[in-house]
Amino acid sequence: MLNIAVLVSGSGSNLQAIIDSVEKGEINGKIVTVVSNKPGVYALERAKIHNIPSCVIESKGNLHFTSQLLKHLKENNVDLIVLAGFLCILKEEILNQYKNKIINVHPSLIPSFCGDGFYGLKVHEAALNYGVKVTGATVHFVNEVTDGGKIILQKAVEIKDGDTPQILQKRVMEQAEWIILPKAIKMICDNEIKED
Ligand code: GAR
């Protein structure tokens, strides 16, 4: 059974999808900690409701963010780090120590609309501005290239006439992210994925 840390920065709807899947017994792992780099986000509330330990390690203006996060991960014997709407770039020190043990969900079909500066609604704005007819979500391993690690799962989602970034974000979450993120975690916990 893997010890899972979920790192968040916002509403935590992806965290919720993972919690639901764990509670249904689909994932052979345990969420041992939820870490937010921002105080007061709703994801922390979700952890609390489900009796999952959580903490805030602020990234903004914090020179010790990386060492504090590393210490916390070690103390909790974390085997797998899941970035679920975590909008902060992890430093090499963490990537090196958790090689092939960090995954991220990104709200587009990588390699489209990804990399530095593409996060949250900006991704959907870019897809709509470009005029693509299909978008989706990707779960991938995290390496030193932003959104550049090996792809684990992807799922396509249709873009419809009249979509706004908000409408599209909701559809991509419902039809792709909330499905493929728990599924990828399950596959890793079941040792079904060859590492990078
Ligand atoms: C999600 O759409 C996630 O894919 C995206 O932020 C949102 C967080 O929502 N992540 C990125 O853009 C990372 N590059 P949530 O807090 O409700 O899970």
Mean pLDDT of all residues in 34-53: 98
* Closest ligand 1 atom, residue 16 Cα: 18
The rounded distance, in Å, linking the Cα atoms of 17 and 168 is 18
- Measured CA to CA in angstroms, residue 58 lies from 33, 37, 49, 55, 121 at distances of 15, 4, 22, 10, 22
Mean pLDDT of all residues in 84-112: 97
pLDDT number for residue 194:
73
pLDDT number for residue 54:
98
Pairing mode, strands 2-8 and 29-36 = parallel
Residue nearest to atom 1 of ligand 1 (CA): 85
* Closest ligand 1 atom, residue 120 Cα: 12
Mean pLDDT of all residues in 142-157: 97
Q: Which residues are known to be catalytic?
A: 106
85 Cα to the center of ligand 1, angstroms: 3
pLDDT in tens, 78-87: 999 999 999 9
Residue nearest to atom 7 of ligand 1 (CA): 85
Residue type, 55: C
The rounded distance, in Å, linking the Cα atoms of 123 and 137 is 11
Please list every protein residue whose CB sits less than 6 Å from any atom of ligand 1. 8, 10-14, 43, 84-85, 105-107, 119-120, 123, 173, 177
Mean pLDDT of all residues in 27-54: 98
pLDDT number for residue 88:
94
Which candidate, 150, 42, 27, places its Cα nearest to that of 79? Answer: 27
Do 35 and 23 form a contact (C-beta atoms < 8 A)? Answer: no
CATH topology assigned to domain 2-189: Rossmann fold (3.40.50)
Mean pLDDT of all residues in 93-119: 97
- Percent over 70 (pLDDT), the chain: 99
Q: Is 70 exceeded by the pLDDT of residue 159?
A: yes
Helices vs strands, H then E, count in the chain:
7, 7
Task: Please provide the average confidence, as pLDDT, over all residues in the chain.
Answer: 97
